Amino acid sequence: MIEIKNLKKVYNGVTVVNVPGVEIRKGESVGLVGNNGAGKTTLFRMVLDLIRPETGQVLLNGENVAGHEHWKNYTASYLDEGFLIDYLTPEEYFYFIGGLHQQTQVHVDDYLAGLTDFFNGEILKKGKYIRDLSKGNQCKVGVASCLLQNPELLMLDEPFANIDPSTQFRLKSILKDLNKNKGVTTLISSHDLNHITDVCDRILLMEKGVIIKDIATSSSTLNELEEYFGVGQTISIETKVDAE
């Protein structure tokens, strides 16, 4: 499904991504983890041909993303609110996305009705433009617009970051269903080690632009990642901040 070959990106003389080779098979659910500045978002943007590498290539179903357009028909992604059209209401945006995929408004409405719990009464029929929504609700719109496209490949960057705990668990359920029951290939970047190890059956650990570990998820994976990142110290810091 995804094949990365000798991919390198350099900014101001600093190599921010250097991936000699990675393959993600069709139907796999893969998580990408790493500290800020590890190169995760840059890698995502190169996979989506939003930025061009100095060397190397990304192949989706054997086609170089830099030279073909067909992969866009089966790929859906949400990296940040810049992917949205912020002067539209959520309904207008969903109809626009649906129209791009030859879906009628009735079809879109039926689809949205199935996301009632995920939206939690905060998205539809509120008379708000997307720009006036919270970051979390913008994320819900972005994720929902991806699901509307019925993709074969779904890419999400930090989808759990700004949404409330209830929605996080609903999103996990949606992602598991897409992967296990519908065979969608998912590539998800997240700082939330608990959620990412629960959702994904393979974890790529990235530091300073390099994928240093490729882990098949098991019962010990979360502990392994927590030990690597020193989560105990992080938790104590976050608890102190919350208390303040």
CA distances from 93 to 103, 105, 111, 172 (A): 13, 11, 14, 23
pLDDT of residue 67: 85
Task: In whole angstroms, give the CA distance from residue 59 to residue 65.
Answer: 6
Class of domain 2-74+151-243: alpha beta
Per DSSP, the three-state class of 186 is strand
Enumerate residues 6+ apart whose C-beta is below 8 A from 168.
160, 192, 195
Q: Where are the beta strands (DSSP E) in 1-93?
A: 2-11, 14-24, 29-33, 55-60, 63-64, 75-78
CA distances from 39 to 8, 45, 113, 135 (A): 11, 10, 37, 22
Radius of gyration of the chain (CA): 18
Low-confidence ranges of the chain (pLDDT < 50): 232-244
For the purposes of burial, counting CB atoms within 10 Å of the CB of 7, is it exposed (0-12), middle (13-18) or buried (19 or more)?
A: buried
Per DSSP, the three-state class of 204 is strand
Q: Where in the chain is the domain with CATH 3.40.50.300?
A: 2-74+151-243
Q: Which two tokens stand for residue 6?
A: 């000798």
pTM beyond 0.75: the answer is yes
pLDDT in tens, 56-104: 999 999 999 998 999 999 999 999 999 999 999 999 999 999 999 999 9
For tokens 């139907």, the residue is 27
The Cβ of residue 240 has, within 10 Å, a number of other Cβ atoms equal to 9
pLDDT of residue 231: 58
Q: Which two tokens stand for residue 62?
A: 């054997």
